[in-house]
Each structure stands twice: as structure tokens, then as C-alpha cells.
Amino acid sequence: MLGRTWAATILCHGAPQETRPEVMASKPKLYYFCGRGRMESIRWLLAAAGVEFEEEFLETREQYEKLQEDGRLLFGQVPLVEIDGMTLTQTRAILSYLAAKYNLYGKDLKERVRIDMYVDGTLDLMLTIALAAFSAPEDREKAQASIVQKAKTRYFPAFEKILKDHGEDYLIGNKFSWADIQLLEAILMVEELDAPVLSDFPLLKAFKTRISNIPTIKKFLQPGSPRKPPPDRHYVETVRRVLQF
Ligand SMILES: N[C@@H](CCC(=O)N[C@@H](CS)C(=O)NCC(=O)O)C(=O)O
């Protein structure tokens, strides 16, 4: 059995957990690799909303083919999330559903479109980081240096300016939103590549501390949460094996 509860998702390869279907039924279920990739922002958003979830980790080609044969992958791709009686794919669609459902998507259309702009920017940045893990080892350092450079010159100055211009604690409407969650996720990812990257961004530094201390996020940042570590060789090999590329 591959399903894991929130508390049990400490290691992807730990002992199988006993599950109780009547309790688990209402929890969203995530199908993806045991690693960040495109699923990690979904994990962040659920965790920030205080929602427990289960995960099934794809380790074999057979698991992936079974999902396809069962007609559960609309375009033959993961992430796949089961929630509210629906089988959802497409990361961005899943994220916006969750943001709306958990009241993290602004109060009106104008706030919503700004949240969309900010999250699309951070998703672009995070996708480049995720993809760098699949580059040849000899190219990886250069790719990562260029990502850090882009974060410093394109993304972080934009967010620093937003915070400076309105002087508020959160990115939009002075209220915690999906955009804040993703910006923190992106900041932490870039810091893993270059620890002092925020040294020229005092407001982002304060933002990072503030958002990291929101209780649900603080919990997600603790060891043993469903948050995944940076990609390692095992993760890259698993994704390549399952998707055959
Ligand atoms: N636009 C999709 C892209 C999903 C995607 O590319 N997923 C990869 C794994 S991260 C996949 O399943 N690739 C298999 C394929 O495209 O055949 C999304 O954002 O969810």
C-alpha cells in the first residue's frame, strides 16, 4: 500500500502505514513522485490551508500506466489530485481551485488577477529550478548560477518593490494569500542554491520571517512534514524511469 497519512509522510520509503478508509475518504489524495517537482506548490498550499492529505508515490512505470489505463490522467501527465469527488490534473488549475476553496485567492477579480501574475512569476522561477536537476551534472552549476542571477535581477526586485510600495505585510490586499505562500516557497528554493541571496532585499527578508511563522507554515517547515527535500539522484532516476525519458 502506498498511501501515507500526513504524519507518516516523513520518508517516502518507510514502512507501509495502516490506513482507515472511512477516515481517509475526505482527505485529498496526491499522486506524484516522492519529490518536489510540480506537486510541491500543491503540498505547500494544502499545508498552509491546514488541510491534511494523503500521497501515493510513483516508483514504477506500472503505477503510471495503471493511472493512464484507468483514464485518470487527462493528458497522460501528473500531478494528479483527487479532491471533492473530482480527479484533477494540470498544476495551475489544481492550485487555483485550492486557493479559491480555502479563501486564499483575494476578495475580487482585481486582487485575483494580481495573485495570478505573482504566482505565475514564482511558478516560472521554480520550474527552472526543478528542471535544472535534470540537466547534465557538468551543466548544472552553470544553470543554477543563472537561476540565482535571474532571481536577483528579475523576480526578487519586483517583489521587494511591491512590498515597499504598499508597505503592507502581505503581497495583496493586506491579507494572507496563495501569492505569499508561493513566494516563500520560491525564496527558500533559491536560498538553497545561494544562502545569502536575500542580502539586498530587506523587505523580502522580513517577509520570509513573517510568513514562515504563520502556524500552518511553521508546521510544514518542521522536519517530518510532507515537504519534500531538494531533488537527489534517486528522485531524478525515478522520474526518468517512470516517464521513460
Ligand atoms: N501542464 C502540466 C504539465 C505536467 C507535466 O509535464 N507533468 C510531467 C511530470 S512533472 C509528466 O507527467 N510528463 C509525462 C508526459 O508528459 O508524458 C501541469 O502543469 O500539470
Q: Tens of pLDDT along 2-39?
A: 333 343 344 565 444 444 444 445 899 999 999 999 99
Residue ID of nearest Cα to ligand 1 atom 1? 90
Query: How much distance in Å is there from the Cα of 103 to the middle of ligand 1?
Result: 27
Question: Do 88 and 29 sit in the same domain of this protein?
Answer: yes
pLDDT band, very low/low/confident/very high, at 55 (cuts 50, 70, 90): very high
Number of domains in the chain: 2
Question: Do 60 and 137 sit in the same domain of this protein?
Answer: no
Closest CA to 222 of 4, 5, 3, 7: 7
196 CB-near residues (< 8 Å, 6+ apart)? none
| 172 secondary structure, DSSP code | B
Residue ID of nearest Cα to ligand 1 atom 13? 77
User: Per-residue pLDDT for 60 more than 80?
Assistant: yes
CB under 8 A, 24+ apart: contacts of 90-98: 91/38, 91/39, 91/41, 91/42, 91/123, 92/120, 92/123, 94/42, 95/41, 95/42, 95/45, 95/119, 95/178, 96/178, 98/42, 98/45, 98/46, 98/49, 98/178
Taken in order 148, 113, 37, 241, is the CA torsion positive or negative? negative
3-class SS at 170? Answer: coil
3-class SS at 203? Answer: helix
Question: Do 57 and 146 sit in the same domain of this protein?
Answer: no
Q: What is the spatial distance between Cα 197 and Cα 200, in angstroms, rounded to a whole number?
A: 7
Mean pLDDT, rounded, of the chain: 92
Query: How much distance in Å is there from the Cα of 148 to the middle of ligand 1?
Result: 24
Does some domain include residue 9?
A: no
Question: Do 210 and 117 sit in the same domain of this protein?
Answer: yes
Q: What is the spatial distance between Cα 106 and Cα 110, in angstroms, rounded to a whole number?
A: 8
Q: Residue 26: what pLDDT?
A: 85
Question: Do 113 and 206 sit in the same domain of this protein?
Answer: yes
Q: Residue 221: what pLDDT?
A: 98
Residue ID of nearest Cα to ligand 1 atom 2? 90
pLDDT mean over 213-221: 98
Query: How much distance in Å is there from the Cα of 49 to the middle of ligand 1?
Result: 25
Q: Are 215 and 37 contacting, i.e. CB atoms less than 8 angstroms apart?
A: no
For residue 115, the enclosing domain spans: 109-214
Residue whose C-alpha cell reads 524511469 in the numeric block: 241
Does some domain include residue 16?
A: no
Q: Residue 5: what pLDDT?
A: 38
Residue ID of nearest Cα to ligand 1 atom 18? 90
Rounded percentage of the chain residues whose pLDDT exceeds 90: 89
Residue ID of nearest Cα to ligand 1 atom 5? 77
Ligand 1 pocket, Cβ-based, cut-off 6 angstroms: 37-38, 76-79, 90-92, 243
Give the atom of ligand 1 at the shortest distance from the alpha carbon of 39.
10
Closest CA to 119 of 75, 158, 65, 85: 158
Question: Do 210 and 115 sit in the same domain of this protein?
Answer: yes
pLDDT mean over 205-217: 98
Q: What is the spatial distance between Cα 159 and Cα 204, in angstroms, rounded to a whole number?
A: 7
Give the atom of ligand 1 at the shortest distance from the alpha carbon of 239.
9
Does some domain include residue 1?
A: no
pLDDT mean over 81-96: 98
Q: Are 9 and 226 contacting, i.e. CB atoms less than 8 angstroms apart?
A: yes
Residue ID of nearest Cα to ligand 1 atom 10? 38
Q: What is the CATH number of the domain that holds 93?
A: 3.40.30.10
Does some domain include residue 7?
A: no
Q: How far is CA 34 from CA 40, 76, 161, 200, in A?
A: 10, 18, 35, 34
Does some domain include residue 169?
A: yes
Query: How much distance in Å is there from the Cα of 67 to the middle of ligand 1?
Result: 14
Over residues 132-182, the pLDDT tens digits come to 999 999 999 999 999 999 999 999 999 999 999 999 999 999 999 999 999
Residue ID of nearest Cα to ligand 1 atom 20? 90
Give the atom of ligand 1 at the shortest distance from the alpha carbon of 94.
20
Over residues 183-193, the pLDDT tens digits come to 999 999 999 99
Question: Do 132 and 63 sit in the same domain of this protein?
Answer: no
For residue 81, give the amino acid letter: V
Question: Do 82 and 155 sit in the same domain of this protein?
Answer: no
Q: Residue 7: what pLDDT?
A: 35
Question: Do 136 and 229 sit in the same domain of this protein?
Answer: no
What's the CA dihedral at 199, 200, 206, 207 to 10 degrees? -110
Does some domain include residue 208?
A: yes
pLDDT mean over 86-107: 98
Query: How much distance in Å is there from the Cα of 198 to the middle of ligand 1?
Result: 31
Q: What is the CATH number of the domain that holds 168?
A: 1.20.1050.10
Does some domain include residue 82?
A: yes
For residue 96, give the amino acid letter: S
Query: How much distance in Å is there from the Cα of 141 to the middle of ligand 1?
Result: 25
Does some domain include residue 2?
A: no
